[in-house]
Structure 1
Amino acid sequence: MEIDGRFWLTKDGRSFLGSGRIELLNLIEKTGSINAAAKEMKMSYKAAWERINSMNELADEPIIQRKVGGKGGGGTTLTPYAHELIQTYNRLHELHRQFIDRFSEAGDSPELLAKILNRTFLTTSARNQIPAKISKIDVNELSSIITIDLSGGSKILSTITSKSVNSMNLHVGSDIYAIIKSSDIKIHATAPKETDNLNILEGTIESIQSTELNSELALRINDKTLLVTLLGKDELDSFRVGKKAFASIACNNIIVGL
């Protein structure tokens, strides 16, 4: 038995955004045409337009704009507001998926689900709270190296005090959270040099959201692991959505949470 759940955003009691509508918007941006987007989704132009019109009725601003004439003969593109909606939906959908994944750890055990719920509602200021499991503990006199298996198959190392290992009753097989502040994750266009105290994870840039001061970059490591970090304005030119990148995280910057 598995726990599952669909994710929709509603407004004024009506369905506003879901995965199918987001796919339609992305295809309109890709093809420059509602008709072409509808064909890729194997739906009629009428059905696609009804979805667009329904979103427009609920949106605070228009979500599409027409291009008239020109070399390409015109077409349809998304407005800046629509791009903001897509980014917001993707971020909320990712959080929802993480929430469901935490529930799924329980299988058909209500007792385990209650334990996971107690962990789920722990609040920290760290953006990255990744469900994980301990696969190895190397205990030294003062500090210990914890090998952590992240959801999706990746491994990282965390250095914590041996006193913490004992007080938290950590052992191989313990379900934990790897908690990482966004400021402790560095993003590189090429793989950095490996060292004993540095974790290096390869991924694909999923999104970049910018403000006047900085940018937030989301790096997809695998289907179940997404890392979020901040970039300065001078770093932004080195990265693009869809491109490969590398995250480096010092072992002593990975907090183990229960």
Structure 2
Amino acid sequence: MKIDGRFWLTKENQSFLGYGRIELLERIDTTGSINAAAKEMKMSYKAAWERINGMNALADQPLIERSTGGKGGGGTKLTPYAHELIATFHRLGELHRQFIDRFAEAGNDPERLARILSRTFLTTSARNQIPSTLQTIETNGLHSTLTLSLSGSDTLRSTITAKSVENMGLAIGCDTYAIIKSSDIHIASSRPDSKTSDNILSGTIETLERSGENIEIGLRLEGGTLLIALEKQDALQNLQVGISAYAIISPLHIIIGL
């Protein structure tokens, strides 16, 4: 059994935005044409137009602008308001997935779900607060290396002090959070040297947001976890949405939360 949930935004008790409608808007933005966007999504022009009309009827402002004639011919483009809605939807969708992931930790164990729900939600500046389960503890002198299982088959190793393990009452099987600053996650388009002690996790680039000298990268791991990394643009010119990439994280940069 798996706990899951669908994410929709409603307005006036009517369906307003879902992933299909957002995809339609994004394809219109890319193609500049409702007809072309509909063909890419394998739907009729009429069905696409009905969805757009439905969204426009509920939206506070128009979502598309249409032009006819002119040197380049007619076309359709999204309004600034539509772009804001798309960004808001994706951010809310990410938070919804994080919430569902916390439920999914419980599997088919109601008592474990009760413990998760009673857990205090963390408030930190770190962008990555990843639900995990403690698999192993290896202590060597003053330090302990923890192996954490994430959703799917992904794992992380974290090195903290042995005293922290004792003070937190950490034990194999307990529910934890792996807390990682976005600036402590490095992204590479090719797999690094396997001899490194760093965590190396493979995934697919899901989002890229550029601002000034920086670029924020959303990497969806094979097990479903989304990692957010912050890098310098000049070091990652070849990254594109949809390509495979690797996250590199030092065990020393992973904080454990309960």
Which TM-score bucket, shorter chain as reference? 0.7 to 0.9
After TM superposition, give the deviation of residue 75 of structure 1 in Å.
3.9
Q: Note if contact 1:202-1:245 (Cα within 8 Å) is conserved in structure 2.
A: yes
| CA distance in 2 between partners of 1:210 and 1:81 (Å) | 20
Q: Residue 114 of structure 2 aligns with which residue?
A: 114
Q: Which runs of 5+ in 1 are unaligned?
A: none
Distance 1:250 1:15, change over 3 A: same
Q: Residue 129 of structure 2 aligns with which residue?
A: 129
Q: Residue 27 of structure 1 aligns with which residue?
A: 27
Instruction: Give the residue type in structure 2 aligned to 1:115.
Output: R
Q: Note if contact 2:10-2:16 (Cα within 8 Å) is conserved in structure 1.
A: yes
| CA distance in 1 between partners of 2:198 and 2:92 (Å) | 30
After TM superposition, give the deviation of residue 73 of structure 1 in Å.
5.7
Distance 1:84 1:233, change over 3 A: farther
Q: Note if contact 1:7-1:18 (Cα within 8 Å) is conserved in structure 2.
A: yes
Q: Residue 220 of structure 2 aligns with which residue?
A: 220
Q: Note if contact 1:9-1:18 (Cα within 8 Å) is conserved in structure 2.
A: yes
What is the DSSP-based 3-state SS (H/G/I as helix, E as strand, rest coil) of the residue aligned with 1:88? helix
| CA distance in 2 between partners of 1:72 and 1:134 (Å) | 59
Distance 1:152 1:108, change over 3 A: closer
After TM superposition, give the deviation of residue 70 of structure 1 in Å.
8.0
| CA distance in 2 between partners of 1:212 and 1:81 (Å) | 23
1:117-163 deviations in Å (ceiling 9; x for gaps): 23362222211111122222211121011122221211221111112
Please say which of residues 69-78 and 128-137 is displaced more in the overlay: 69-78
After TM superposition, give the deviation of residue 227 of structure 1 in Å.
0.6
Q: Note if contact 1:126-1:180 (Cα within 8 Å) is conserved in structure 2.
A: yes
What is the DSSP-based 3-state SS (H/G/I as helix, E as strand, rest coil) of the residue aligned with 2:46? helix
Instruction: Give the residue type in structure 1 aligned to 2:220.
Output: R
Q: Note if contact 1:130-1:151 (Cα within 8 Å) is conserved in structure 2.
A: no
Q: Residue 85 of structure 2 aligns with which residue?
A: 85
Q: Residue 16 of structure 2 aligns with which residue?
A: 16
Please say which of residues 50-59 and 17-26 is displaced more in the overlay: 50-59
Q: Residue 229 of structure 2 aligns with which residue?
A: 229
1:80-119 deviations in Å (ceiling 9; x for gaps): 5434432332222122122112113334544322210233
Residue 149 (structure 1) aligned with residue 153 (structure 2): no
Identical aligned residues as a percent: 62
What is the DSSP-based 3-state SS (H/G/I as helix, E as strand, rest coil) of the residue aligned with 1:130? strand
Q: Residue 186 of structure 1 aligns with which residue?
A: 186
Distance 1:234 1:39, change over 3 A: closer
Q: Note if contact 1:158-1:255 (Cα within 8 Å) is conserved in structure 2.
A: yes
Structure 1 length-normalised TM: 0.84
Q: Note if contact 1:188-1:246 (Cα within 8 Å) is conserved in structure 2.
A: yes
